[in-house]
Structure 1
Amino acid sequence: MIPPTISDLVARAASHPFLGEHLARGTGEHSDSAIARFNGFQLGSTYEPIFDISVHAYGQSLGSAPERADRFGDELGFQAVTQRVDGVPFDAQDTFERIADDQELVALDRMSRALHAINFFGAQRHGLLFLRVHERLLKSVKYDHGRHFSAVLVSFGLNPSRIVIELPAAAVAHRNFLGYLTRSYQRYGFKVAGNLPNAGQILSVSDMARLDFIKMDAGSALRDSMVKPLVGYANRLRIPLIFNRVADEAQFDLLQQYDVRFVQGPLFAAHDHDRTA
């Protein structure tokens, strides 16, 4: 089966009652990607790589071969990030917080995830696509989390199993809610990642939710000397642990001392020459 192109997916979105109003093919320098129109401006997709540094680049310094983006290791996948196509800085979190109406927020969140999926799969990217979900959307949708997005993806001819729904720290902090959300999204074919609000929260992950991935802020874990115990406990759980927000080479070098496998952050995105869709 020939995988759909971005043009194919934009055309399929046109028949969707909501997405058809907001998603379109870009123009000019953005003609090779889909864009979304929202509140008078246009949004696009960028992708931050998540590397498996145990594969072949383990122990290497970032200073070697700076032109080679693959020197970190193999890519597990990519974190989708929303940007404005005109280059004006866009703070997605701040934008969400400014929206008072929950239904408008739900619509923007669904539009953004559809946009990123189209640009990711239409460009035939490899690996997994990590998509953040806003805390307020999780509370606004009362049940069957993942059902709507799964139906949209299937109508596009896309496979939900290559998408990782990333839950915010506020959701992970509530054990019962975390367990329900994880089961619901997994029931509709998605993988689920949870952001730890703090290192100790990993202790409640195993009994209430069988997450597919755990994410932890690298700076916080290093500052609290929690990298080694986090890695050990995650290994016992057999849940991959991703250290994100790795800001500089010093943090990267420290993480490598503790058998960290998966890393993500501004440091790696700066060296990824193919992250814009």
Structure 2
Amino acid sequence: MIPPTIPDLIARAAAHPFLGEHLVMGQGVHSDIALAQFDGMELASAYEPIFDISVHALAQSLSSGAEGVDRFGDELGFQAVTHPLGAAPFEVFDPFDRCGADQELVALDRMARALHAINFFGAQRHGLLFLRVHERLLKSVKYDHGRHFSSVLMSFGLNPSRVVIELPAAAVAHKTFLGYLTKSYQHYGFKVAGNLSNAGQILSVSETARLDFIKMDAAVALRESMVKALVGYASRLRIPLIFNRVMDEAQFVALQQYDVRFVQGPLFNAHYHDRAV
């Protein structure tokens, strides 16, 4: 079966009244990507790589530092980032800050998720697609989390199992809610990742939900001297642990001392996207 292209997926999105109104193909130099039109802006997709640094080739080339990750690391997947067309892909920007009513936020979230899925799968990218979920959205949708997006993906001919729904730390902090959300998203075919605000939150994971991934801020874990403990506990749970927001070479080198496997963050973005261009 021939995988759908971005134009194919935009054509399929046209069958959805809301998505068909807001998702379009770009023009000119952007004619090969899909864009979302929202509140007078054109929004595009960027993808932050999540690297597996345990691969054998990389282990033999640590002296090459972050550039070694770019050349030898295997990508577990990519985290989607929404940015205004023409702006730097990874500058701080949150379109959800512009939303007032919850209904508007739900609409924007559905539009952004569809946009990122179209640009990701339509470009035949490999690995997993990580999509953040806004905390307010989780409270706005009362039940059946994941049902709508799963139905959209399947109507596009796409598999939800390659999508990881990334829950905010506020959701992970509530054990019962975390368990419900995880089971609901997994029921509709998605994988689920949970962000930790502190190392102690990992204790909630085993009691409430079988997350597919755990994510932790590298700087916080290093500052609290909890990297080794987190790696050990996640290993016992058999849940992959991703250290994100790796900012510089010093943090990367420090993480390597503790058998960390998955990393992402600004340190790797420039190297990766320079190669991609």
Shorter-normalised TM range: over 0.9
Mapping of 1:162-177 within 5 angstroms?
Answer: 162-177=162-177
Check the 8 A contact 1:49/1:78 in 2, yes or no: yes
Letter in 1 for 2:196: L
Paired position in structure 2 for 1:74: 74
Secondary structure in 2 aligned to 1:18? helix
Paired position in structure 2 for 1:151: 151
Check the 8 A contact 1:7/1:25 in 2, yes or no: yes
Distance 1:274 1:26, change over 3 A: farther
Mapping of 1:196-215 within 5 angstroms?
Answer: 196-215=196-215
Letter in 1 for 2:189: G
Q: CA RMSD in A?
A: 1.9
How many pairs were matched up?
A: 275
Paired position in structure 2 for 1:85: 85
Paired position in structure 1 for 2:45: 45
Paired position in structure 1 for 2:232: 232
Task: Find the aligned partners of 2:69 and 2:236 in 1 and give their Cα distance.
Answer: 34
Letter in 1 for 2:59: Y
Distance 1:229 1:180, change over 3 A: same
Q: CA deviation at 1:22?
A: 0.3
TM-score, normalised relative to structure 2: 0.95
Q: CA deviation at 1:204?
A: 1.1
Q: Which has the higher helix share?
A: 2
Task: Find the aligned partners of 1:225 and 1:68 in 2 and give their Cα distance.
Answer: 24
Which structure 1 residue ranges, 4+ long, deviate > 6 Å from structure 2? 274-277
Percent sequence identity is: 76
Task: Find the aligned partners of 1:229 and 1:272 in 2 and give their Cα distance.
Answer: 30
Distance 1:186 1:65, change over 3 A: closer
Q: CA deviation at 1:99?
A: 1.5
Letter in 2 for 1:69: D
Letter in 1 for 2:9: L
Check the 8 A contact 1:192/1:212 in 2, yes or no: yes
Check the 8 A contact 1:45/1:119 in 2, yes or no: yes
Check the 8 A contact 1:245/1:265 in 2, yes or no: yes
Letter in 1 for 2:209: A
Letter in 2 for 1:265: G
Alignment of 1:132 onto 2:132: yes
Task: Find the aligned partners of 1:14 and 1:99 in 2 and give their Cα distance.
Answer: 24
Task: Find the aligned partners of 1:255 and 1:173 in 2 and give their Cα distance.
Answer: 25
Mapping of 1:22-61 within 5 angstroms?
Answer: 22-56=22-56, 57-58=58-59, 60-61=61-62
Alignment of 1:251 onto 2:251: yes
Q: CA deviation at 1:69?
A: 2.2
Q: Choose between structure 1 and 2 for higher RCO, CA contacts under 8 A separated by at least 6 residues.
A: 1
Q: CA deviation at 1:32?
A: 0.7
Q: CA deviation at 1:270?
A: 1.4
Secondary structure in 2 aligned to 1:230? helix
Unmatched 5+ stretches in structure 1: none
Check the 8 A contact 1:175/1:204 in 2, yes or no: yes
Letter in 2 for 1:149: F
Distance 1:197 1:147, change over 3 A: same
Task: Find the aligned partners of 1:67 and 1:234 in 2 and give their Cα distance.
Answer: 26
Q: CA deviation at 1:70?
A: 2.5
User: What are the Cα deviations for residues 90-111 of structure 1, in whole angstroms up to 9, with x where unaligned?
Assistant: 6443x31331100000000110
Task: Find the aligned partners of 2:64 and 2:272 in 1 and give their Cα distance.
Answer: 14
Task: Find the aligned partners of 2:262 and 2:148 in 1 and give their Cα distance.
Answer: 30
Unmatched 5+ stretches in structure 2: none
Paired position in structure 1 for 2:217: 217
Secondary structure in 2 aligned to 1:45? strand
Secondary structure in 2 aligned to 1:272? helix
Secondary structure in 1 aligned to 2:247? coil
Alignment of 1:141 onto 2:141: yes
Alignment of 1:8 onto 2:8: yes
Bigger mean CA offset, 227-236 vs 264-273: 264-273
Distance 1:45 1:163, change over 3 A: same
Secondary structure in 2 aligned to 1:158? coil
Q: CA deviation at 1:124?
A: 0.2
User: What are the Cα deviations for residues 229-260 of structure 1, in whole angstroms up to 9, with x where unaligned?
Assistant: 00000000000000000001110000000000
